[in-house]
């Protein structure tokens, strides 16, 4: 029987996955030594076990070393197979050297993860310039799509939705969600000037009065993309948008600021957050049954 091990922050999701798979749920004990180094202990018997480590990589630098320590300890203790379930996969956005000398962290991170695990399961990784995880991950990597879940949520909760993507990168999610929700969609254009400085051109909305704008994006990080878009729409006299995201990173006060400008903010549980309202757990369970 499979053994599911959660890293800190993924306990609830791991427990749901274990229940869905009828698998055993183990534990990973971690703490910080006074100097900040990580202590990791796997108290569950691992010899001969097919082990799934669940780890949400929302603050990857804090999480990564203990993830590697847990993976290496699991192998040393006899785990026969190691799968990483990382519902939010970090370090996907630096997929190009935008400035000379920059580290191509999407590729380096993929290399580091591929060294430790036999397989990876994730949800909507930010595939933009990399078209598939197999371009950078050398292990079998499953990229699940949350679009059908987002579409179902929109169909059941929003009347006359107009699905809006804030930038060209969101086209892939927005067009799929719109098709599945049988709703019209349009994609705006964005210029990013810095981590917290984006400019969104709000255009093409004049013919859509009477519709409820629904902003859809894969990631909300600083929140600037959604906040700027929501502000632009309100300034044009449109209703406050419903904001739907897959990965709720929400740095600093981004959630508060977006909530003030949105009709509603809703996200999936790839990252545990108060805005979670759409569960990807059934997708993860099905995928793990497939990779058995
Ligand atoms: C990138 O284009 C992504 O799809 C998101 O639009 C972006 O990561 C959102 O970032 P932020 O919330 O910091 O504007």
Main-chain dihedrals φ then ψ at residue 18, nearest 5 degrees? -60, -40
Structure confidence at residue 172 (pLDDT): 84
CA of 143 from ligand 1 middle (Å) equals 19
Query: In terms of domains, do 71 and 205 share one?
Result: no
Minimum CA distance residue for ligand 1 atom 3? 219
In which band, very low, low, confident or very high, does the pLDDT at 169 lie, cut at 50, 70 and 90? confident
Query: In terms of domains, do 152 and 265 share one?
Result: yes
Query: In terms of domains, do 42 and 134 share one?
Result: yes
CA of 141 from ligand 1 middle (Å) equals 23
Query: In terms of domains, do 156 and 74 share one?
Result: no
Structure confidence at residue 14 (pLDDT): 97
Domain range for 107 is 3-145+280-290
CA of 142 from ligand 1 middle (Å) equals 22
Ligand 1 is surrounded, with C-beta below 6 A, by 166-167, 169-170, 198, 217-225
In which band, very low, low, confident or very high, does the pLDDT at 1 lie, cut at 50, 70 and 90? confident
On whether residue 66 sits in a domain, the answer given is yes
Minimum CA distance residue for ligand 1 atom 13? 222
Structure confidence at residue 186 (pLDDT): 95
Structure confidence at residue 240 (pLDDT): 96
Structure confidence at residue 292 (pLDDT): 67
Structure confidence at residue 37 (pLDDT): 97
Query: In terms of domains, do 125 and 221 share one?
Result: no
Alpha-carbon span 81 to 119, nearest angstrom: 9
3-class SS of residue 282: helix
Minimum CA distance residue for ligand 1 atom 8? 219
Q: Where are the alpha helices (DSSP H) in 77-131?
A: 105-116
Alpha-carbon span 173 to 191, nearest angstrom: 19
pLDDT at 291 over 90: no
Our mutation pick for probing the ligand 1 site, out of 96, 174, 217, 257, counting the most ligand atoms within 8 A of Cβ, is 217
**CA dist 96 → 61, 129, 143, 194 (Å):** 20, 8, 20, 16
Domain count, the chain: 2
Residue for token digits 């449109």?
238
For residue 225, count CB atoms less than 10 angstroms from its CB and return exposed for 0-12, middle for 13-18, buried for 19 or more: buried
Minimum CA distance residue for ligand 1 atom 7? 219
CA of 195 from ligand 1 middle (Å) equals 9
3-class SS of residue 266: strand
Query: In terms of domains, do 160 and 264 share one?
Result: yes
On whether residue 275 sits in a domain, the answer given is no
CA of 172 from ligand 1 middle (Å) equals 14
Cβ neighbours for 215, distance < 8 A, ≥ 6 positions apart: 164, 165, 166, 226, 229, 230, 241, 242, 243, 244, 262
CA proximity to 153, closest of 287, 264, 272, 274: 264
In which band, very low, low, confident or very high, does the pLDDT at 206 lie, cut at 50, 70 and 90? confident
Over residues 215-244, the mean pLDDT reads 95
Alpha-carbon span 171 to 166, nearest angstrom: 9
Per the CB < 8 A criterion, the answer to whether 155 and 182 are in contact is yes
Residue numbers annotated as active site: 190
Minimum CA distance residue for ligand 1 atom 2? 169
Report angle CA 131, 87, 263 to the nearest 5 degrees. Answer: 95
Average pLDDT value over all residues in the chain: 96
Over residues 168-178, the mean pLDDT reads 91
pLDDT at 179 over 70: yes
Structure confidence at residue 154 (pLDDT): 98
In which band, very low, low, confident or very high, does the pLDDT at 183 lie, cut at 50, 70 and 90? very high
In which band, very low, low, confident or very high, does the pLDDT at 205 lie, cut at 50, 70 and 90? confident
On whether residue 274 sits in a domain, the answer given is no
**CA dist 182 → 98, 148, 188, 206, 229 (Å):** 37, 11, 20, 20, 23
CATH number assigned to the domain comprising residue 81:
3.40.50.2020
Query: Could you tell me the two tokens for 82?
Result: 């190691």
Query: In terms of domains, do 284 and 235 share one?
Result: no
Query: In terms of domains, do 12 and 138 share one?
Result: yes
State pLDDT tens for residues 185-200: 999 999 999 988 999 9
Our mutation pick for probing the ligand 1 site, out of 219, 228, 246, 273, counting the most ligand atoms within 8 A of Cβ, is 219
Angle between helices 105-116 and 60-76 (to 10 degrees): 20
Query: In terms of domains, do 132 and 217 share one?
Result: no
């Amino acid at each position: 029987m499979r053994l599911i091990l959660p890293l800190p922050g993924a306990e609830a999701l791991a427990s749901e996955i274990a229940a869905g798979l009828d698998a055993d749920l183990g534990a990973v004990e971690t703490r910080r030594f006074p100097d900040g180094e990580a202590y990791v202990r796997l108290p569950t018997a691992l010899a001969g076990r097919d082990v799934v480590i669940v780890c949400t990589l929302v603050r990857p630098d804090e999480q990564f070393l203990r993830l590697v320590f847990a993976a290496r300890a699991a192998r040393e203790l006899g785990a026969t197979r190691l799968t990483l379930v990382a519902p939010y996969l970090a370090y996907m956005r630096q997929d190009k050297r935008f400035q000379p000398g920059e580290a191509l962290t999407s590729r380096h991170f993929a290399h580091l993860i591929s060294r430790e695990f036999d397989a990876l399961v994730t949800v909507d990784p930010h595939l933009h310039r990399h078209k598939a995880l197999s371009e950078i991950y050398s292990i079998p990597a499953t990229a699940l799509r949350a679009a059908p879940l987002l579409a179902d949520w929109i169909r059941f909760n929003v009347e006359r939705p107009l699905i809006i993507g804030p930038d060209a990168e969101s086209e892939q999610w927005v067009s799929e969600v719109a098709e599945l929700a049988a709703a019209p969609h349009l994609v705006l254009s964005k210029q990013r000037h810095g981590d917290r400085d984006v400019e969104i051109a709000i255009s093409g909305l004049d013919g859509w009065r009477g519709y409820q704008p629904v902003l859809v994006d894969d990631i909300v990080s600083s929140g600037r993309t959604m906040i700027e878009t929501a502000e632009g729409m309100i300034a044009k006299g449109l209703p406050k948008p419903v904001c739907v995201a897959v990965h709720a990173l929400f740095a600093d006060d981004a959630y508060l600021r977006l909530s003030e400008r949105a009709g509603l903010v809703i996200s999936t549980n790839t990252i545990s957050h108060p805005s979670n309202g759409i569960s990807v757990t059934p997708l993860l369970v099905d995928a793990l049954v497939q990779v058995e």
